[in-house]
Amino acid sequence: MKKYTFRSNLVISSYALVALLLVSCLGEPPASMQVSPIDATKPNQVLRWKMTTTWPPNFPVIGEVAEKYAEWVGELSNGQIQIKVYGGGELVPPLEAFDAVSQGVIEMGCGVSYYWAGKTPAAQFFAAVPFGMNSQQLTSWLEVGGGYELWKKTYAPFNLVPFLGGNTGVQMGGWFNKEINSVEDFKGLKMRLPGIGGKVLEKAGGAAVLVAGSEIYTSLERGVIDATEWIGPYHDYKMGFHKIAKYYYTPGWHETGSQLEFFINKTLYDRLPPHLQAVLEAASKRAQVWVLAEFDKQNGIFLDKLVNEEQVEIRQFSKETMDALRVYTEEAIQEMIGDDPWSKKVYESYKQYQARIAKWSTVTEKAYYNTIQQ
């Protein structure tokens, strides 16, 4: 298993940090770093691109898929597109990937669209919405429900084209040292819970604390925070949270299937011949399948380790707790999208799709899981 380290203050879904960091400007890119030109007179021209990610180098699953995407694009294009992947901070700071690709400093990027909510609030709906769709439902909205078209329109003003980059599946609700029996138990709780989830926590009387990934363990150990969420058993085990927290709560209502992305400079993309555009899309579909498959595989293995080897107690949030958080979520989203008509349009499409598909999932999948002994 590859080791990974945090080379920067990367915080998964840190809305506030994104807003903070995105105000910094990259300035004029040096000519040597401009995107590779396409020469239409050379149909078999080899294109050498860079991809910058928002993850530390070799980050399990979500960093690995960037390398795999590069490999698949190479194979599918018969070597015509060669992508070299860089971890966050190696070329540009992680949260400047959007600007770097938009401006043509770098050809491609890999991340999660909620990082760019400071650019356009609508971006978050293509990543993770508390009490939102799961990976299966979200893929349906994106693939055949009009979601992807809305995503492309959201990124077009920034000179970017998005591609699906995988999905984490439902995440875990987080690590706590006290029981959460009702929404009242969030009062006064200092928790590392970024994004919209953090705003929901604050509505419930808690404090959402911004903590860099590399500092979560120490902050929890020293009581700077009382609780934290991260991803799921695989990544959480590696962080060692089970050594310093009593209860592992489910489900991750705040990230019900976080969608990853690749994005490419639109000027560059528009100049590509159709077969190479198709290659980029085909590889992204493969990434969408691989990431969820790998998450499910690894989380199954590491959940077993946590429960059977580390004696971690898995707890479930009560229905009353979830109902209360859901009300706060709707309030938080309405505040975040404010008067932005485009965000409202995207959210409306998302909510309508979720309302319909959730009924179908309830009749089939929920009924199935409710009636079988696992």
Q: Which stretch binds Ca ion (CB under 5 A): 96-104, 204-212, 248-256, 316-324?
A: 248-256
Question: What is the closest distance, in whole angstroms, from the C-beta atom of residue 291 to Ca ion in the complex?
Answer: 14
Question: What is the closest distance, in whole angstroms, from the C-beta atom of residue 255 to Ca ion in the complex?
Answer: 5
Q: Where are the beta strands (DSSP E) in 234-342?
A: 247-250, 259-265, 313-316
Distance CA 104, CA 15 (A): 24
Q: Is 49 helix (H, G, I), strand (E, B) or coil?
A: strand
Phi, psi of 278 (to 5 degrees): -65, -35
Q: Which stretch binds Ca ion (CB under 5 A): 109-117, 153-161, 254-262, 342-350?
A: 254-262
Contact 51, 91 (CB under 8 A): no
Question: What is the closest distance, in whole angstroms, from the C-beta atom of residue 280 to Ca ion in the complex?
Answer: 27
Burial class (CB in 10 A: 0-12, 13-18, 19+), 59: buried
Pick between residue 13 and residue 343 the one whose CB is nearest to Ca ion: 13
Question: Considering only residues 169-208, where is the footprint of Ca ion by CB under 5 A?
Answer: 171
Distance CA 177, CA 3 (A): 28
Distance CA 188, CA 207 (A): 7
Pick between residue 172 and residue 312 the one whose CB is nearest to Ca ion: 172
Question: What is the closest distance, in whole angstroms, from the C-beta atom of residue 237 to Ca ion in the complex?
Answer: 14
From the list 184, 18, 37, 192, the residue with the least C-alpha distance to 113 is: 18
Q: Which stretch binds Ca ion (CB under 5 A): 55-63, 205-213, 253-261, 344-352?
A: 253-261
- Which structure tokens are listed for 29? 């890119």
Contact 130, 251 (CB under 8 A): no
Pick between residue 119 and residue 192 the one whose CB is nearest to Ca ion: 192
Question: What is the closest distance, in whole angstroms, from the C-beta atom of residue 171 to Ca ion in the complex?
Answer: 5
Distance CA 302, CA 126 (A): 28
Pick between residue 96 and residue 255 the one whose CB is nearest to Ca ion: 255
Question: What is the closest distance, in whole angstroms, from the C-beta atom of residue 194 to Ca ion in the complex?
Answer: 8
Distance CA 179, CA 224 (A): 18
Question: What is the closest distance, in whole angstroms, from the C-beta atom of residue 172 to Ca ion in the complex?
Answer: 8
Question: Considering only residues 134-173, where is the footprint of Ca ion by CB under 5 A?
Answer: 171
Q: Which stretch binds Ca ion (CB under 5 A): 240-248, 249-257, 307-315, 338-346?
A: 249-257
Pick between residue 107 and residue 229 the one whose CB is nearest to Ca ion: 229
Which residues neighbour 278 within 8 Å (Cβ) at sequence distance 6 or greater? none
Distance CA 283, CA 260 (A): 14
Q: Which stretch binds Ca ion (CB under 5 A): 81-89, 255-263, 270-278, 279-287?
A: 255-263
Distance CA 353, CA 178 (A): 36
Q: Give how many residues touch Ca ion by CB under 5 A.
A: 2
Pick between residue 171 and residue 321 the one whose CB is nearest to Ca ion: 171
Question: What is the closest distance, in whole angstroms, from the C-beta atom of residue 174 to Ca ion in the complex?
Answer: 8
Pick between residue 72 and residue 115 the one whose CB is nearest to Ca ion: 115
Pick between residue 64 and residue 255 the one whose CB is nearest to Ca ion: 255
Distance CA 95, CA 340 (A): 23
Residue numbers at the binding site for Ca ion (CB under 5 A): 171, 255
